[in-house]
């Protein structure tokens, strides 16, 4: 995938230089980089407002350009930006804006020009008479000059009645290219969408005002599929054992999504019928289950997806009770273990639009690692195991109330941070990493991962005891870190480190060249960058270069709702990311063993 350099010359004299994949339009590349170009149709080539002048480089005029511009202007380089495909480096003059497009900050500090798929148009129509017998639909569409949607059967069913009862004053509700409703009167002020991060453990919903980009309410709850297993593999296994499990898991996903929907709508006092689109970012298994797609091939070698890009789906297909014809945008998956959540995360963190060398790590049971550079993106998945979820750890628990999430050691003291400030009940993933990193720092755990004996532990000797014949480090009363827990963490971090080490080798890049590491996922956001470096989970960089970016999958889902361009960017990402299977490499085990030790 080669890239081109586009220099936008703005009317205030500023210049903005961006890098974009060859073949994108000047409009998309601008939009992706927060450069505003006039447009009301959102790049469908119908509004003809996105004119720019190609000052350097060549863009062949399209038939739309020939209709939009006189020959003189065409020769002078004027083109519709939404049709101007960049095949080489270009310098582009952007005229002053006629309308000031709204923008919102979403994702990892990304300034996004608002152009949601959901559009409303208020129109006042002439009544038909014998001299003007246009159909109701033609009359309506003719009055909307900047969009050319097609109608659904549902709209047609009541179109005639609505037009007449509303005295021909109606609001058309359009989602991308579909006319999904015609509402009486002017309802343009009500235009909402819900972005979902559909996680294996937790599901998060954010209600967005699509007119302003503002989040109006957010809520999260546990995925109701939990009783079928904590991770994707156990849930897939359930469907293989019991034919009733798939419909049941689907319904549970629907219940979770719908409960969150009603919760955020209630919190913001919004009528769910004014929610016209939802966006969902989830891993491939969660997405398959929510749509009722048989997930078995995802769970057994060679790990096959049913499809990458999904067909048009509706909120109803996902059990979400909002507007009855609301559409659903489900992020496509790149592979069985690089799902829509990762694509959404890459979008939200702008991994494809940054010329710095960056490493994106979504830490979890299955860990996804993506290396981004001017040369494109390479991705892989590393089976880290459940250590970070607190499973397989003696006193492990999920990051919930009572979990020790931070551990701070001095040679004489142990200080614990507990979620909810209650009596500690167990140790969650970030507490595990903290505990191990602090023990390493104080020399109480050697590089090979062995806990010292009490006589080597100085003032902390009391904390080093045996439980069932195994050496442990006691954190609080009954809660301890065992020698085997340390081994579990070593396996997990070695898998991740092997992943990025091999990706670096694959691309011929040195560890020291990495400009930034993004730690994503709910676990990544709790992880202390310093300790992540200390245990060797991430490359050895200066601490400020390791950044917890939080729930980027959810941010990606918001982007998809707020901007058609960003959504197109997600599709483009599918072609820009190269997946590398590492698990079958002959040198994988050697590397893995080499990465077990602490740095």
Binding site for a second copy (CB under 8 A): 128-130, 132-138, 150-153, 156-161, 164, 291-297, 301-308, 310-311, 313, 317, 335-336, 581, 584
Is the Cβ of residue 296 or residue 446 nearer to a second copy in the bound state? 296
How far apart are CB 302 and a second copy at their closest, in Å?
A: 5
- Residue 133 CB, nearest distance to a second copy (Å)? 6
Nearer to a second copy, 127 or 267 (CB): 127
Nearer to a second copy, 35 or 370 (CB): 370
Q: Phi and psi of 530, rounded to 5°?
A: -60, -45
Q: Which stretches of 434-558 are assigned E, i.e. beta strand?
A: 464-467, 470-476, 479-482, 516-520, 546-550
Give me the least distance between CB of 245 and a second copy, in Å please: 13
Backbone φ and ψ for 5, nearest 5 degrees, come out as -105, 120
Q: Which is nearer to a second copy, 124 or 581 (CB)?
A: 581
35-46: b or e for each residue (b if 16 or more CB lie within 10 Å)? bbbbbbbbbbbb
CB nearer to a second copy: give 160 or 420. 160
Nearest to a second copy of 67, 158 (CB atom): 158
Give the number of residues written for the chain.
599
Nearest approach, Cβ of residue 239 and a second copy (Å): 10
* Sequence-ordered strand ranges (E) for 128-269: 150-151, 169-175, 178-184, 192-198, 202-209, 215-222
Compute the Cα dihedral for 425, 430, 433, 436 and give only its sign: negative
Q: How far is the CB of 294 from a second copy (least distance, A)?
A: 5
**Enclosing H/E stretch for 340:** helix 340-348
For the bound state, the minimum distance from the C-beta of residue 29 to a second copy, rounded and expressed in Å, comes to: 24
Q: Least distance in Å: CB of 503 to a second copy? A: 18
Give CB contacts under 8 A, 24+ apart, made by 423-426: 424/475, 424/476, 424/477, 424/479, 425/397, 425/401, 425/479, 426/390, 426/395, 426/396, 426/397, 426/402, 426/479
Nearest approach, Cβ of residue 291 and a second copy (Å): 6
Task: Between 4 and 179, name the residue whose CB sits nearer to a second copy.
Answer: 179
Neighbours of 394 (CB within 10 A): 18
Task: Give bridge partners of residue 313 from the DSSP assignment.
Answer: 328
C-alpha span between 168 and 184 (Å, rounded): 8
State the Cα–Cα distance between residues 324 and 473, nearest whole angstrom: 56
CA atoms lying within 13 Å on the CB side of residue 230 = 13
Please state the closest distance from residue 139 (CB atom) to a second copy, in A.
8
Closer residue to a second copy, CB minimum distance, 294 or 459? 294
Cβ contact 97:80 at 8 Å: no
d(CA 185, CA 123): 9
Q: Which is nearer to a second copy, 474 or 588 (CB)?
A: 588
């Amino acid at each position: 995938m080669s890239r081109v350099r586009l220099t936008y010359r703005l009317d205030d004299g500023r210049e903005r230089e961006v890098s974009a994949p060859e073949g994108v339009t000047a409009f998309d590349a601008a939009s992706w980089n927060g450069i505003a170009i006039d447009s009301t149709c959102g790049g469908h080539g119908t509004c003809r407002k996105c004119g720019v002048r190609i000052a350097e480089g060549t863009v062949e005029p399209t038939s739309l350009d020939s209709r939009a511009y006189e020959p003189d202007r065409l020769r002078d380089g004027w083109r519709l930006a939404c049709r101007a495909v960049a095949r080489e480096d270009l310098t582009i003059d952007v005229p002053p804006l006629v309308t000031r497009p709204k923008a919102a900050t979403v994702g990892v500090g990304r300034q996004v020009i608002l152009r949601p798929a959901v559009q409303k148009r208020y129109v006042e129509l002439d009544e038909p008479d014998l001299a003007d017998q246009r159909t109701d639909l033609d009359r309506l569409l003719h009055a909307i000059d900047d969009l050319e949607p097609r109608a659904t059967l549902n709209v047609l069913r009541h179109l005639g009645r609505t037009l007449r009862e509303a005295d021909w004053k109606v609001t058309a509700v359009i989602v991308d290219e579909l006319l999904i409703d015609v509402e009486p009167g002017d309802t343009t002020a009500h235009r909402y969408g819900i972005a979902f991060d559909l996680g294996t453990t937790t599901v998060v919903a954010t209600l967005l005002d699509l007119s302003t980009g503002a989040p109006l309410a957010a809520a999260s709850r546990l995925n109701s599929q939990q009783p079928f297993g904590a991770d994707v593999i156990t849930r897939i296994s359930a469907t293989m054992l019991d034919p009733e499990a798939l419909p049941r898991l689907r319904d549970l996903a629907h219940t979770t999504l719908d409960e969150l929907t009603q919760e955020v709508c209630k919190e913001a006092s919004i009528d769910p019928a004014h929610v016209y689109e939802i966006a969902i970012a989830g891993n491939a298994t969660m997405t398959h289950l929510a749509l009722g797609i048989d997930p078995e091939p995802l769970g057994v070698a060679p790990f096959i997806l049913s499809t990458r890009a999904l067909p048009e789906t509706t909120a109803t297909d996902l059990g979400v009770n909002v507007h009855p014809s609301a559409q659903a945008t489900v992020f496509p998956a790149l592979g069985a273990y690089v799902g829509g959540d990762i694509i959404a995360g890459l979008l939200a963190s702008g991994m494809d639009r940054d010329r710095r060398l960056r490493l994106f790590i979504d830490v979890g049971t299955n860990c996804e690692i993506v290396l981004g550079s001017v040369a494109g993106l390479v991705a892989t998945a590393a089976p880290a195991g459940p250590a970070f979820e607190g499973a397989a750890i003696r006193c492990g628990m999920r990051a919930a109330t009572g979990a020790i999430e931070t551990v701070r050691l001095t040679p004489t003291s142990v200080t614990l941070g507990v979620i909810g400030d209650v009596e500690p009940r167990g140790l969650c993933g970030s507490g595990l990493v903290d505990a191990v990193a602090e023990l390493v720092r104080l020399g109480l755990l050697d590089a090979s991962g062995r806990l010292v004996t009490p006589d080597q532990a100085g003032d902390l000797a009391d904390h080093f005891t045996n439980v069932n014949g195994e050496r442990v480090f006691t954190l609080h009363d009954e809660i301890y870190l065992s020698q085997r827990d340390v081994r579990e963490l070593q396996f997990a971090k070695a898998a991740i480190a092997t992943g990025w080490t091999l990706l670096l080798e694959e691309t011929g890049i040195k560890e020291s060249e990495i400009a930034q590491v993004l730690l994503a996922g709910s676990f990544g956001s709790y992880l202390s960058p310093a300790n992540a470096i200390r245990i060797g989970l991430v490359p050895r960089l200066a601490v400020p270069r390791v950044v917890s970016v939080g729930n980027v999958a959810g941010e990606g889902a918001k982007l998809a709702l707020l901007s058609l361009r960003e959504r197109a960017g997600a599709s483009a990402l599918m072609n820009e990311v190269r997946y590398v299977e590492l698990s079958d490499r002959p040198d994988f085990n050697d590397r893995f063993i080499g990465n077990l030790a602490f740095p």
